[in-house]
Structure 1
Amino acid sequence: MENRRITPLDIESKEFPTSFRGYSAPEVRAFLERVAAEFESLLREIRDLEQRTAELEKERDELRERESLINETLVAAQASAERILEAAREKASAILAQAESERTQVSAQIEHLRAERDAFIAQLRSFLDAFYTRLEDTKRRAAG
């Protein structure tokens, strides 16, 4: 028995010895032609399916590459977003600390200015009281 595959041509060209009361040669020939045609059709279909399988495998591989790239991009974007958020939090914290420091300084300046104002008002009153007292003394001396 041969190890090679049977082709449609092998089927179509197969010759059988004739014997007395054997099979009808035209019917055998017609059947072999039909089998060869069907065999050839099936081989074409197998080749088409193999080609389609190869195309689908290539498409699948491309989609996997895209998926991998998308996942890598997503991971990178998430990491970038986290870094941006952390930087924004740090900046906001620094701004708040600076604002709190400035608020404390302004509050201290306001308290200092209030104290200076109160001292000035007290000095002014004292000066006015002294001036009023001298004025009254001067009026009394002039009147009296």
Structure 2
Amino acid sequence: MPLTPLDIHNKEFGRRLRGYDEDQVNEFLDQVIKDYEAVIRENKELQNQIFALQEKLDHFANIEETLSKTIIVAQEAADEVRNNAKKEAQLILKESEKNADRIINDSLAKSRKVALEVEELKKQASIYRARFRTLVEAQLELLSMDGWDKLETASESTQQAHRQTI
């Protein structure tokens, strides 16, 4: 067990002949007691400071650990968001490509349909022109026949008879 200032103060030395001066020894012991008490007080203060600093160190270590975990979680969240964004972008791109292919295929199908309709209309126009030409030629042939002169003369006679009756 360590020596206390009270132990030093209560220490009694045996007496001998031609021993040390008792007053000097007592003064010295009083000085030792004062110095020893000061050392004990300083030691206690230092221990309190060490304890306070250790608490602060533990607190900061805890904060550091929490921050480190938070940074890791934030990094993982950022990675997940980035990966999800890439996946979504790829899905949008694929969907856009499918829509573009569908639009192109629809346009090509409509273009083919329109081309077929145009060809059909050209054929119908050609047939119509041929029929119309045939009709016009037939009408011209009728007009060029001799029978029209007789119709004109008969028509004029009918008109004159009609005028006379009135």
Taking structure 2 as the reference length, the TM-score comes to: 0.71
Larger Rg: 2
Aligned length: 141
Residue number in structure 2 paired with 1:11? 8
Q: CA deviation at 1:24?
A: 3.2
Residue number in structure 2 paired with 1:27? 24
Q: Any idea what the Cα deviations from partners look like across 1:56-89, whole Å, max 9, x if unmatched?
A: 2222222222222222222222233333222222
Residue number in structure 1 paired with 2:106? 109
Which letter does structure 1 place at the counterpart of 2:78? A
Which letter does structure 1 place at the counterpart of 2:88? K
Percent identity of the aligned residues?
23
Q: CA deviation at 1:16?
A: 3.7
Gaps of 5+ in 1: none
Aligned equivalents of 1:134, 1:116: Cα separation in 2: 27
Aligned-pair Cα RMSD in Å = 2.2
Which letter does structure 2 place at the counterpart of 1:40? E
Residue 45 (1) aligns with residue 42 (2)? yes
Residue number in structure 2 paired with 1:118? 115
Moved more, 10-19 or 93-102: 10-19
Residue number in structure 1 paired with 2:91? 94
Q: Any idea what the Cα deviations from partners look like across 1:81-134, whole Å, max 9, x if unmatched?
A: 333222222222222222111111111101000001111111112222222233
The equivalences for 1:56-71 within 5 A come to: 56-71=53-68
Aligned equivalents of 2:17, 2:76: Cα separation in 1: 88
Residue number in structure 1 paired with 2:73? 76
Residue number in structure 1 paired with 2:151? none
Residue number in structure 2 paired with 1:135? 132
Aligned equivalents of 1:78, 1:5: Cα separation in 2: 55
Gaps of 5+ in 2: 142-166
Aligned equivalents of 2:110, 2:62: Cα separation in 1: 70
